[in-house]
């Protein structure tokens, strides 16, 4: 894949300005028309991801969908995966790391996530994602600006220099109540862990319930100075 699209920042700036504040279906429609079969959606099965799958299906868009199966997902997440496929008649491809958990333990020691969470995320998420995105020109994400400080400056359409393609963020301007309003209004399947104190759900060993009043992402890598797995950070961009 070349970076021809990224060589035209003017197009991305114009698209971002055009789509700022526009409804999510309009952002998705623009991306589908612009990139066609070179557009994919990576879902982690969070509430936002379920909403995007619903929006894609409602619009009849032909978008490739995959997820990073790290080998340590919650059983509830695996059940939701199948429920979404059944509800919308789609296939959500599994993208897996090069090593199983056992194979990783032989090389890096057991429970790497407890000793070096960044390295574990790199092996089980970032590297597989990089390989999965290689055939595509643009990818859809479910990030919102209000989720973390790192995401506060995100735009609906932007260059993703870390992975060398275009990032499409249709829910970037949504708030928590927008997401759940859509889920309830359209009976969208979602992870039951959300009702058990898990507002943000990742891998089972690195996700814990959140107490009332805590930040919604306090349960991710609890006790560590970390709130991103590396998929949406720009450390490799030199910025």
CA–CA gap between residue 49 and residue 68 (Å, rounded): 13
CA–CA gap between residue 224 and residue 3 (Å, rounded): 35
User: Residue 205 to residues 11, 61, 198: CA-CA distances in angstroms?
Assistant: 41, 35, 13
> 36 in the Ramachandran plot: left (φ > 0), alpha (ψ -120 to 50) or beta?
left
Report, in angstroms and rounded to the nearest whole number, the Rg of the chain calculated over CA atoms: 17
Q: Among all residues, which ones are annotated catalytic?
A: 229
> 189 in the Ramachandran plot: left (φ > 0), alpha (ψ -120 to 50) or beta?
beta
């Amino acid at each position: 894949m070349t970076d021809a699209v990224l060589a035209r920042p003017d197009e991305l700036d114009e698209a971002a300005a055009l789509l700022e504040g526009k409804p999510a279906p309009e952002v998705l429609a623009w991306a589908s028309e612009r990139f066609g079969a070179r557009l994919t959606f990576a879902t982690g099965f969070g509430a936002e991801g379920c909403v995007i799958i619903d929006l894609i299906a409602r619009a009849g868009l032909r978008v490739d969908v995959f997820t990073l199966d790290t080998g340590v997902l919650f059983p509830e997440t695996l059940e939701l995966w199948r429920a979404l496929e059944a509800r919308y008649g789609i296939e959500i491809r599994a993208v897996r790391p090069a090593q199983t958990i056992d194979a990783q333990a032989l090389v890096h020691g057991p429970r790497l996530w407890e000793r070096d969470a960044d390295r574990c995320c790199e092996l089980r998420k970032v590297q597989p994602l990089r390989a999965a995105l290689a055939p595509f020109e643009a990818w859809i994400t479910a990030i919102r600006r209000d989720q973390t400080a790192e995401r506060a400056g995100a735009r609906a359409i932007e260059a993703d220099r870390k992975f060398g393609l275009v990032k499409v963020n249709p829910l970037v301007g949504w708030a928590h109540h927008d997401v759940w309003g859509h889920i309830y209004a359209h009976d969208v399947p979602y992870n039951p862990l959300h009702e058990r104190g898990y507002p943000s759900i990742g891998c089972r060993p690195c996700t814990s319930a959140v107490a009332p009043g805590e930040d919604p992402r306090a349960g991710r890598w609890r006790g560590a100075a970390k709130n991103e797995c590396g998929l949406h950070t720009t450390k490799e961009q030199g910025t």
